[in-house]
Homo-oligomer: A and B are copies of this chain.
Amino acid sequence: MAKIITFGEIMLRLAPQGYLRFFQNDVLEATFGGGEANVAVSLANFGLDVAFVTKLPKNDIGQAAVNQLRYFGVDTAKITRGGERVGIYYLEKGASQRASKVIYDRAYSAISMAKSEDFNWDEIFSGVEWFHFTGITPALGQNVADICLEACKKAKEKGITISCDLNFRKNLWSSEQAGKTMGTLMPYVDVCIANEEDAEKVFGIKASDTDISGGKLSHEGYKTVAKELKDRFGFKYVAITLRGSISASDNNWAAMLYDGSEYHFSKNYAVHIVDRVGGGDSFGAGLIYGLVSNMGACDTLEFAVAASCLKHSIEGDFNRVSVSEVKSLMDGDGSGRVQR
């Protein structure tokens, strides 16, 4: 089994209950999540040995984040404690034609204010085989982008496989900033994960013949995107998730994996959404699990898509599913029959 590190921010997620609008009543569901933490939890649920690296304040909110990660068996010993606040994101769940809404209150969080000396990557990477981060982490600030670069260099030096989910967030930085910063990190990355918009938003690589808001997906277009990403940065694998948004309640969900020679397209799932936040992260975790477990490209892709398909049926950022549950769906049982 592999030892895996993910690095990024874990935030307090504050969401009204059910389909209520923000502050429609006076209760907020308070859970934790964030791209890289979500991947860590998912991998822990798959039984892998994974540690999450971040910076969290020494108060009860920071401790609650640590405890949540420990709950799933994620190693939290490498988390730096200090700083002022835990970042927050407010989430309002959409339904039908009404989109979900995210309001970030993550500026000045401990990790976004972190300094190079907060992390000793040589120690952190001791005995590690895989390092994962997403485009959100460097978007937190130039200081964090610099830390990412240090981590990538050290990981490469140690022969650690590096995966990165582009995860473009328009509220954190512009396409121009993203392209420039991500461009310096990509050369270290082995496995690149993107959704149907990221490649264009970050690197200006556009899938031809694809109308995202209309939910039409062109296989050919995605192939050219994957190829161009690989050609530009030398990735071993390029994985792209293909979300067909029918409405906030119903999506189609599939993905492709380009292994440098072949383009694998997964089966498509028509998902009735419970909570789609973290869907991409659960795909990334499935992909890492498949690759680490040497499942082969095709099965890896199907595992990753099935894992993330299930995520859409689960409340919260974290994908609370086991390997056997994913394999059961991957093997074709999506009928939802009660097991008893």
A contact residues vs B (CB 8 Å cutoff): 14, 18-31, 59-61, 64, 67-68, 70-73, 84-86, 88-90, 92, 94-105, 107-108, 169-171, 213-215, 245-250, 269-274, 276-277, 309-310, 312-316, 320-321, 325, 329, 332-340
Contact = CB atoms under 8 A, between A and B. Distances in A.
The residue in A18, A26, A70, A309 that gathers the most chain B C-beta atoms within 10 A of its C-beta is A26
Q: Which 8 A-B pairs give the minimum distances between C-beta atoms?
A: A248-B336, A102-B340, A23-B64, A245-B335, A98-B313, A97-B334, A22-B60, A95-B313
Nearest to A59: B103
Contact of A27 (B30, B90, B99): B30
Chain A at the B interface: mostly helix, strand, loop or mixed? loop
Given A14-B28, A85-B105, A107-B108, A276 B68 contact: no
A272 B96 contact: yes
Copies assembled: 6
20 contacts: A24-B320, A26-B31, A27-B29, A28-B29, A60-B101, A71-B71, A86-B105, A89-B340, A95-B274, A96-B272, A96-B336, A98-B321, A99-B337, A99-B339, A100-B336, A100-B339, A101-B338, A101-B340, A169-B340, A247-B335
Given A71-B71, A337-B99, A272 B245 contact: no
Contacts of A28: 14, 27-30
